[in-house]
Amino acid sequence: MRTLIEHFQVLRFTLRQLLLTPNASLLNITIIGIALSLPVGGYVLLKSVQTLGAQIAGTPQISVFLSAGTGTGDIERIGERLKQHTVVKRIEFVPRATALKKLQQSTGLSDIIGGLSQNPLPDAFIVYPADGNVATLEKLRDELKTWQRVEHVQLDSAWVHKLEALLDFGRMAVAILAALLSFALVAITFNTIRLQILTRREEIEVAKLIGATDAFIRRPFLYFGLTQGLLGGAAAWLLISASLLLLNHTLTELAQLYASDFSLQGLSVADSLSLLGFSAYLGWLGAWFSVSQHLWQIEPR
């Protein structure tokens, strides 16, 4: 209980320190918020692009063409096996007669096709996978090729490869940007705590003279860095939310012109908590580095 009270007192002291220098504190928090909002904003855009790509193209389909002369029993067996597959969401059977009729209607060559002595098209299953992941789709395609009475399996995944490549590039760019800005935020907190240590040098010397431990002296600075980082994360969340609100207002009018209801997705609860936790950790880390480097240099004279 005593330890909890001590931590609460240190937190209250930290908040008072922030309020004593409102301009400098607000500037640091704003800088942290803007810096964090850049990679997080990129992450939000990537999520929205991924959703839009799925809406435009839909889940890729796998066409399973059966061998000529496949009997009704084999067709039913293959259909049941497809339904029970773990990565198959649903299937659609296309008889060869239906496929020929659709071909006549879509090509306009009904006279030529009608003159054929026999139907050249095979029976087929259209498979709708539950997962649109490229690796999963290709693994399913390769597996279906090995089934008996399956002549050919076709997966149109070119657009999936392009979208995945684009998203991978975007993720890498966001990760690099996040790493660079995280280092910058740690440096900002490091310098802020260094200035505080220099300003309170005499106070620290007196505290060491009366027997205060390094852990006791270090605690307020760590709380300051953590609190500043947390407030910076909150500022980033507000900036992103406000930006999305403004962008979605304009985007709604544009989407309506294309008969779409697309909008940019906001941060989920898990994403928001991760942002706040990560920003607090960066603040704490910068304070820890600064205290570790400068506190031992101060000794009572």
Using an 8 Å Cβ cutoff, are 230 and 276 in contact?
Answer: yes
> Average per-residue pLDDT in the chain?
79
Buried b (16+ CB within 10 A) or exposed e, 181-190: bbeebbebbb
Transcribe 36-50 into DSSP letters. Answer: HHHHHHHHHHHHHHH
pLDDT tops 70 at residue 61:
yes
Q: What is the pLDDT of residue 116?
A: 55
Q: How many CB atoms lie within 10 A of CB 140?
A: 20
Name the burial class of residue 257, with classes exposed (0-12), middle (13-18) and buried (19+) by CB atoms within 10 angstroms of its CB: exposed
Q: Which of 30-34, 98-102, 189-193, 250-254 has the lowest mean pLDDT?
A: 98-102
Q: What is the pLDDT of residue 57?
A: 54
pTM: 0.65
Average pLDDT over residues 40-69: 76
Fold of 61-156: Alpha-Beta Plaits (3.30.70)
Using an 8 Å Cβ cutoff, are 101 and 64 in contact?
Answer: no
pLDDT band at 108 (very low <50, low <70, confident <90, very high): low
Average pLDDT over residues 59-66: 80
Average pLDDT over residues 13-23: 71
Using CA atoms, how far residue 49 sits from 10, 41, 198, 241, 272, in Å, is 44, 12, 48, 17, 19
Domain boundaries, the chain: 2-56+162-297, 61-156
Bridge partners, 64 (sequence order) = 125, 153
User: What distance in Å separates the CA atoms of residue 219 and residue 240, rounded to the nearest whole number?
Assistant: 32
The pLDDT tens digits of the residues spanning 166-182 come to 888 888 988 999 999 99
User: What distance in Å separates the CA atoms of residue 42 and residue 178, rounded to the nearest whole number?
Assistant: 10
Q: Which of 25-34, 169-178, 203-212, 285-294 has the lowest mean pLDDT?
A: 203-212
* CB-based contacts of 148, cutoff 8 Å, min separation 6: 74
User: What distance in Å separates the CA atoms of residue 152 and residue 250, rounded to the nearest whole number?
Assistant: 47
Closest by CA to 134, choosing from 60, 209, 24, is 60
The pLDDT tens digits of the residues spanning 195-231 come to 887 777 777 767 677 766 767 777 888 888 888 899 9
Using CA atoms, how far residue 180 sits from 50, 176, 187, 274, in Å, is 25, 6, 11, 18
Q: What is the pLDDT of residue 165?
A: 79
Q: How many CB atoms lie within 10 A of CB 274?
A: 14
Phi, psi of 108 (to 5 degrees): 75, 10
pLDDT tops 70 at residue 58:
no
Higher pLDDT, 175 or 249: 175
Using an 8 Å Cβ cutoff, are 72 and 274 in contact?
Answer: no
pLDDT tops 80 at residue 277:
yes
User: What distance in Å separates the CA atoms of residue 100 and residue 119, rounded to the nearest whole number?
Assistant: 7
Residue with tokens 């050919």: 152
- Give me the torsion for CA of 157, 163, 166, 170, rounded to 10°: -130
Phi, psi of 267 (to 5 degrees): -75, 135
Using an 8 Å Cβ cutoff, are 217 and 196 in contact?
Answer: no
